[in-house]
Amino acid sequence: MTEEFANLVEALNKQFSAEEAQSLARLLSCSCRADSIIYEDIELDDEIKDDIIMIASEERVLLPMKSIRGSAWEDRVLTFTEGERYHVPRIVRFLVEDAQGCGKWNVDEMLEKALVEAGESNPERMVDYLDHVRLLAPKYDVEVGVMQTISGELGLEIDIHDAIDRFVRCGIMSQCTQKSIHSGFSKYEVNPCLYWKS
């Protein structure tokens, strides 16, 4: 076991059982080596492979690339067959690489790094904003109207649509197409891994 792998396991142990943390660390380690990975290249034993991929997909740290209608996470089609391709969202890649070095899940620091890469001019302010959004979205979904209210309460003059576009590109959020249609309000899902214990 390398030090990087041990550090990643240590970070994941705060959120998952020891067995799940080991398997997820193996999955994330091999998945972060390239822009995407195919099913047969995921280095897990056959008896646990599908279960671990499913957990990773539910936690939005590994996403299937096949979709039924668009790019939203909830529209992705998860299958466990040869040739099936998956990818790791940008924010997750930053979190994994950082955890491999320090053994912690440093959400705020990695949010800032991802937002800088996406062209955010005031990343510290936006991380604070996202902290408030996460507090008001304990079940991971949030309406755009709530996000606008939060920005007003914090005295932020931001273009909410530009901000959401950056969040989506970073893998911080994804549109909830079905919930938006049913509720009549535009909703977004916050990546569950941003709620993991650090």
Name residue, tokens 């530009």.
162
User: Could you tell me if 146 and 175 lie in one domain?
Assistant: yes
The Cα–Cα gap between 137 and 131 comes to: 10
| Whether residues 97 and 112 fall in one domain | no
7 with 95, same domain: the answer is yes
Q: Of the candidates 67, 87, 102, which is a domain's last residue?
A: 102
Average pLDDT, the chain: 94
- Show the domain range for 73: 3-102
Identify the bridge partners of residue 188 per DSSP, sorted by sequence position: 142, 175
pLDDT in tens, 74-111: 999 999 999 999 999 999 999 999 999 999 999 999 99
Residues 6 or more apart whose CB falls under 8 angstroms from that of 124 comprise 112
Same domain, 142 and 161: yes
Say if residue 98 is in the same domain as residue 113: no
Answer positive or negative: Cα dihedral of 50, 56, 61, 65.
positive
CATH code where residue 149 lies: 1.10.10
Closest among 33, 13, 75, 81 to 53, alpha carbons compared: 81
Instruction: Read off the tokens for 121.
Output: 């001019």
Q: For residue range 19-48, list pLDDT tens digits in order.
A: 999 999 999 999 999 999 999 999 999 999
Of 102, 134, 160, which residue is a domain's last?
A: 102
Last residue of a domain, one of 67, 83, 102: 102
Domain total of the chain = 2
pLDDT at 69: 85
What torsion do the CA atoms of 94, 106, 130, 69 make, to the nearest 10 degrees? 40
State whether 76 and 164 are in the same domain.
no
Residues 112 and 98 in one domain: no
Q: How would DSSP label each residue in the chain?
A: --HHHHHHHHHHHTTS-HHHHHHHHHHHHHHTTSS-EEGGGS-S-HHHHHHHHHHHHHTTSSEES-BSSSS-GGGB-----TT-EEE--HHHHHHHHHHHHHSS--HHHHHHHHHHHTT-S-HHHHHHHHHHHHHT-TTSEEEHHHHHHHHHHTT----HHHHHHHHHHHTSEEE-HHHHHHHSS-EEEEPGGGGS--
Token pair 């997750």 is found at 92
Say yes or no: 114 and 131 in one domain: yes
Confidence of residue 179 (pLDDT cuts 50, 70, 90): low
Whether the pTM exceeds 0.85: the reply is yes
Tokens describing residue 31? 């998945």
98 shares its domain with 14: yes
